[in-house]
Amino acid sequence: MASDSKVWHPYTPGIGGKEILIDRGEGAYLITKEGRRIFDGISSWWVNLHGHGHPVIAQAIARQAEKLEQVVFAGFTHEPAEELAAGVLKFLPPGFSRVFYTDNGSTAVEVAIKMALQFFHLCGEKRSKILALENSYHGDTFGAMAVGARGPFSAAFQDWLFDVEFILPRYTNPKGSEEGLEKAIRLLETGTVAAIIAEPLVQGAGGMLMYDAGWLDELFATARKYGTKIIADEVFTGFYRTGTPFASSRLSVLPDLICLSKGLTGGFLPLGITACREEISKPFYQADYGHTLYHGHSFTANPLACAASLASLGLLQKPETTLRINRLCGLQKAFCQKVEASFPHLNPRQLGTIFALTLSPEDGLNYTHPNRALIYQYFLDKDLLVRPIGNVMYLVPPYCASESDMDRLHSEIITFLEKYA
Ligand SMILES: Cc1ncc(COP(=O)(O)O)c(C=O)c1O
């Protein structure tokens, strides 16, 4: 434990004081100085892909640090940023042609919203509305909070958030209704909606809620028909979390803007990307300052982060990584079926490498539910990091998790459910 700490920790009641001091990471494990090995069942807030301390990424960062650690990104560029932009565009679904760098998921979302709004401003078209999904989470900065579901995270700032229209997705488990789509169609038909933003197929922080591609395709097709710009927030779902390179890879109607972060650097360094289609960037191609996107962070396109990201992209393209991801998807799918057979009332759900269930679903999704502390402590006592979202228990392991790691994790969950579900 970190004693006499002066650190204020995020999402921690009472500011903190009881944190476990981690000394190093190795594959899917976080290790304390005393040698306690904790399995990272949530990829350290969903950022880690290949395992902690992966030598290929660590060495790429070290090499880059000896060459160029940072350079102002206005008026200057560098090879890792140029190579990464080309690499990410090749990796994305077809049609994307530009990459804008920031340094986290929230700012990738801020930039996407700004690009969409400024696009219409530059085109001289008045569109005042933004559409988002209920139960969504897009980050903690003000614009990202505004397009996220209103709840305990944003309650103190409610009066300062701009107006957004929210619609309910058609969830898969429990099955949702069509009302959200009907409301969206009515709004989109007015031609006043500038942008729609969605976490495609899985709403992470909202409770690992899953909804189907057919529903999203219909929503995006309607948006495209009426000229609304489509933003896919793939900060969580990107880089094979859902079993395909991006959740958008499962869609027939592709977005206009994609936000990436978290797994972008394999979880080693902060970096954000907002990628867009040529059509979005075109009105900005003017020499005068009036057409400039006035957004840029000090550490935009940090060379170390870009080098880490290039190394991670390289690892993602290796056949053994594909095998690992496919194995993890298969194990999570089989486990979900097992939970469904014995505990169908917990709404078990799975997509790709992600598994989730809701303990006491009759209480609804509740971030401060007492089950949160129960689940967290129960598994931590067994050296398993399973940090729930309120009463939602979920697993998002790194792709290097072994079959025996997953077997142990799954069987501990069954034992827990037999006692508490
Ligand atoms: C879908 C989604 N968008 C945006 C964010 C914000 O990312 P960051 O925490 O890097 O600002 C998150 C973080 O959990 C997220 O899940």
Q: Is the CB of 235 under 6 A from ligand 1?
A: yes
Annotated active-site residue in 137, 171, 394, 399: 137
| pLDDT one-digit tens code per residue, 239-281 | 999 999 999 999 999 999 999 999 999 999 999 999 999 999 9
Q: Is 226 a catalytic residue?
A: no
User: Closest ligand 1 atom to the C-alpha of 261?
Assistant: 10
Would 143 be classed as within a structural domain? yes
Q: Of the residues 46, 102, 103, 106, which should be mutated to test ligand 1's pocket, given the most ligand atoms within 8 Å of the CB?
A: 106
Q: Is the CB of 105 under 6 A from ligand 1?
A: yes
Would 340 be classed as within a structural domain? no
Domain tally for the chain? 1
Q: How many CA atoms lie within 13 A of 272 on its CB side?
A: 25
DSSP annotation of 260 reads E
Q: What's the 143 CA to ligand 1 centre distance in angstroms?
A: 12
Reduced to 3 states (helix: H, G, I; strand: E, B; else coil), residue 184 is helix
What separation, in Å, do the N-terminal and C-terminal C-alpha atoms of the chain show? Answer: 31
Q: Is the CB of 267 under 6 A from ligand 1?
A: no
Q: Check whether 2 has a pLDDT greater than 60.
A: no
| pLDDT one-digit tens code per residue, 351-410 | 999 999 999 999 988 889 999 999 999 999 999 999 999 999 999 999 999 999 999 999
| Cα distance between residue 28 and residue 25, in whole Å | 8
Q: Is the CB of 109 under 6 A from ligand 1?
A: yes
Would 202 be classed as within a structural domain? yes
Taken as a whole, the chain contains a residue count of 421
**How confident is the model at residue 173, as a pLDDT?**
83
Q: Check whether 1 has a pLDDT greater than 80.
A: no
Q: What's the 235 CA to ligand 1 centre distance in angstroms?
A: 6
| Cα distance between residue 382 and residue 200, in whole Å | 33
Q: Is the CB of 233 under 6 A from ligand 1?
A: yes
User: Closest ligand 1 atom to the C-alpha of 144?
Assistant: 4
Q: Is the CB of 106 under 6 A from ligand 1?
A: yes
Q: Is 289 a catalytic residue?
A: no
Q: Is 233 a catalytic residue?
A: yes
| pLDDT one-digit tens code per residue, 291-314 | 999 999 999 999 999 999 999 999
Spatial contact of 84 and 314, defined as CB atoms under 8 Å apart: no
Residue 204 structural domain: 57-316
- To the nearest whole number, what is the mean pLDDT of the chain? 96
Neighbour tally for 364: CB within 10 Å = 11
Would 209 be classed as within a structural domain? yes
Spatial contact of 335 and 355, defined as CB atoms under 8 Å apart: yes
Q: Check whether 3 has a pLDDT greater than 90.
A: no
Q: Is 376 a catalytic residue?
A: no
| Cα distance between residue 114 and residue 397, in whole Å | 33
Indicate the Cα dihedral angle 386, 392, 396, 397, nearest 10°. 20
| pLDDT one-digit tens code per residue, 41-71 | 999 999 999 999 999 999 999 999 999 999 9
Would 7 be classed as within a structural domain? no
Q: Is the CB of 204 under 6 A from ligand 1?
A: yes
What is the DSSP annotation of 219-230?
HHHHHHHTT-EE
Spatial contact of 361 and 346, defined as CB atoms under 8 Å apart: yes
Q: What's the 267 CA to ligand 1 centre distance in angstroms?
A: 13
CATH number at residue 242: 3.40.640.10
Q: To which residue do tokens 């917990």 refer?
A: 346
Annotated active-site residue in 103, 233, 256, 405: 233
**Helix H or strand E segment including 392:** strand 392-395
Would 264 be classed as within a structural domain? yes
Would 44 be classed as within a structural domain? no
**How confident is the model at residue 4, as a pLDDT?**
83
User: Closest ligand 1 atom to the C-alpha of 199?
Assistant: 1
Q: What's the 3 CA to ligand 1 centre distance in angstroms?
A: 29
Would 166 be classed as within a structural domain? yes
Q: What's the 255 CA to ligand 1 centre distance in angstroms?
A: 18
Q: What's the 132 CA to ligand 1 centre distance in angstroms?
A: 15
291: region left, alpha or beta (phi > 0 left; psi from -120 to 50 alpha): alpha
Q: What's the 301 CA to ligand 1 centre distance in angstroms?
A: 18
